[in-house]
């Protein structure tokens, strides 16, 4: 494992670590750029040009955008900029997993993780500073919540990692993006959707809809809105086969119970042929990992095109759980497979740098005072 503080250098004229005084073009998808250029009296094709320069080529200095007229470049330089997240830490695991800490403002930072595999490079990105939800097995939830990320801050994670890999010249390239980092993506719907559109745009990153995955705990109103506007892949943090247990592990279940969540998931894939839902299920020793839990889960998902991703729990300080044994996970998976479900067990990656699933913490100026409230509750229960 290595951990390297990053010397911040603004590449191609990009400004980092400054207050957003100008419009950040990094956060505008094709539709947003076309609207901007319409207001400026320019043709819609200008959007494609900017997408290519900023995202495909990584150029952030308007003077270098040579197929734009000098007058247009001057206008853009006056009212806009391309501002990227500020890297402050770069850590690499013994298994090749790599994690960056990216500074957003004076008090908040987020984490992004690159997971290398034989046939792909998956970037796990964040959508919020902290998390508004309080899933009991996730360290991000323990940090509290500060704010949503802007579209520029979301896509900026991909922009930065893409540029770093290019600069290092190893031939590696991001092939998949998963919204599985800090935060609940659907609670930042208005910024996550345009970011995902940028990822798919052929003039930006050109990722297919199957290679961009949004993971949600089940915010049903926004899941239904996503059904109307997006076709990216969907992963659902289920983690329990019944409402009583899920109420405990994923508290949002009290508002959006399992039956309603399953119905929303069916609606999401109804008009998407050959698509399925990935169900994420963290394996907690003695909590949700029994044979009976596996049989309940198999019955619950019957008839839904599904893939169940079993996730060995990744410990963190203050965590009240232990990881299920390998033997127990195999037995659980076998029951699902015998019931006709596709079941895989996620390989733990990057846990030596706290980069594994459920371990991302970043730096959160917690306006929810979640840690303080938890400490007060614990103190009140002591004899």
Residues noted as catalytic: 111, 357
E-strand ranges in 117-240 read 121-124, 128-130, 145-148, 176-179, 212-216, 233-237
Rounded Cα distance between 334 and 341, Å, is 10
Rounded Cα gap, residues 101 and 88, in angstroms: 6
Q: Are 223 and 216 in contact (CB under 8 A)?
A: yes
Q: Could you tell me the two tokens for 151?
A: 């579209």
Task: Report whether 87 contacts 19 (CB < 8 A).
Answer: no
Pairing of strands 212-216, 233-237: parallel
Distance CA 239, CA 138 (A): 12
Tokens coding 107: 């008090």
- The H-assigned helical ranges of 134-212 are 139-142, 151-168, 189-200
Instruction: Map tokens 């232990």 to a residue.
Output: 322
């Amino acid at each position: 494992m290595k951990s390297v503080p990053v010397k911040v250098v603004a590449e191609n004229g990009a400004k980092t670590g400054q207050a957003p005084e100008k419009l950040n073009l990094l956060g505008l998808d094709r539709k947003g750029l076309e609207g901007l250029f319409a207001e400026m009296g320019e043709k819609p094709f200008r959007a494609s040009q900017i997408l290519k320069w900023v995202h495909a080529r990584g150029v952030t200095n308007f003077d270098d955008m040579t197929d734009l007229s000098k007058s247009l470049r001057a206008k853009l330089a006056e009212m806009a900029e391309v501002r990227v997240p500020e890297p402050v830490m770069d850590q690499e695991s013994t298994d090749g997993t790599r994690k960056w800490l990216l500074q957003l403002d004076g008090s908040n930072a987020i984490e992004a993780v690159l997971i290398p595999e034989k046939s792909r490079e998956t970037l796990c990105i964040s959508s919020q500073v902290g998390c508004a939800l309080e899933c009991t097995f996730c360290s991000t939830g323990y940090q509290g919540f500060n704010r949503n990320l802007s579209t520029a801050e979301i896509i900026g994670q991909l922009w930065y990692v893409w540029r770093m890999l290019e600069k290092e010249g190893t031939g590696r390239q991001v092939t998949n993006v998963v919204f599985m980092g800090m935060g609940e993506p659907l609670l930042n719907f208005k910024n996550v959707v345009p970011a995902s559109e940028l990822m798919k745009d052929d003039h930006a990153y050109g990722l297919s809809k199957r290679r961009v995955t949004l993971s949600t705990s089940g915010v049903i109103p926004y899941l239904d809105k996503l059904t109307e506007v997006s076709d990216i892949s969907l992963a659902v943090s289920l983690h329990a086969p019944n409402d009583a247990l899920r109420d405990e592990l994923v508290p949002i279940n009290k508002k959006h119970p399992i039956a309603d969540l399953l119905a929303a998931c069916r609606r999401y894939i109804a008009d998407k042929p050959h698509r399925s839902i990935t169900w994420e299920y963290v394996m907690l020793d003695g909590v949700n990992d029994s044979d009976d839990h596996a049989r309940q889960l198999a019955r619950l998902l019957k008839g839904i095109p599904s893939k169940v991703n079993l996730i060995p729990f990744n410990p963190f300080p203050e965590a009240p759980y232990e990881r299920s044994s390998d033997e127990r996970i195999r037995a659980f998976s076998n029951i699902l497979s015998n019931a006709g479900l596709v079941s895989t067990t996620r390989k733990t990656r990057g846990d030596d740098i706290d980069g594994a699933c459920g371990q991302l913490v970043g730096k959160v100026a917690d306006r929810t005072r979640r840690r303080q409230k938890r400490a007060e509750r614990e103190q009140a229960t002591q004899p």
